[in-house]
Amino acid sequence: MARILIVYGTTEGHTRSIARRIAATVMAHGHLPTVVDATEPRITTDACDACIVCAPVHQGKHPSAVMHFVHDNCPGHIFLVAGALKYTEYDFMKRILMRLIAQRNGADTDTTHDYEYTDWTRLRDDTVTFLASARLAIETRHEAAALVAAGPMLN
Ligand SMILES: Cc1cc2nc3c(=O)[nH]c(=O)nc-3n(C[C@H](O)[C@H](O)[C@H](O)COP(=O)(O)O)c2cc1C
DSSP summary character for residue 56:
E
Q: How far apart are CA 55 and CA 18, in angstroms?
A: 10
Q: What pLDDT is recorded for position 47? A: 86
Residue 155 clears pLDDT 50, i.e. is over it: no
Q: Output the pTM of the full model.
A: 0.92
Residue 153 clears pLDDT 60, i.e. is over it: yes
Residue 112 clears pLDDT 80, i.e. is over it: yes
Q: Which long-range contacts (CB under 8 A, 24 or more apart) does 131-139 make?
A: 131/2, 131/4, 131/25, 131/26, 131/29, 131/31, 133/76, 133/77, 134/2, 134/4, 134/49, 134/50, 135/2, 137/50, 137/76, 138/2, 138/49, 138/50
Q: What pLDDT is recorded for position 42? A: 87
Nearest Cα to Cα of residue 10 among 34, 42, 45, 36: 36
Which range among 39-43, 91-95, 111-115 shows the weakest confidence by mean pLDDT? 39-43
Q: Check if 154 has its Cβ closer than 6 Å to any atom of ligand 1.
A: yes
Closest atom of ligand 1 to 85 CA is 19
Could you tell me if 3 and 47 are in contact, meaning their C-beta atoms sit under 8 angstroms apart? yes
What would the pLDDT profile of 31-69 be if each residue is shown by its tens digit?
999 999 999 988 888 888 999 999 999 888 999 999 988
- Please enumerate in sequence order all residues whose Cβ is within 8 A of that of 119, keeping only pairs 6 or more positions apart, or say none: 81, 82, 155
The full set of domains in the chain, from first to last, is 3-83+118-150 (3.40.50.360), 86-115 (no CATH)
pLDDT band at 154 (very low <50, low <70, confident <90, very high): low
Q: Check if 85 has its Cβ closer than 6 Å to any atom of ligand 1.
A: yes
Residue 77 clears pLDDT 90, i.e. is over it: no
Residue 142 clears pLDDT 60, i.e. is over it: yes
Nearest Cα to Cα of residue 137 among 68, 76, 53, 87: 76
Per-residue pLDDT, averaged over 125-149, amounts to 83
Q: Check if 9 has its Cβ closer than 6 Å to any atom of ligand 1.
A: no
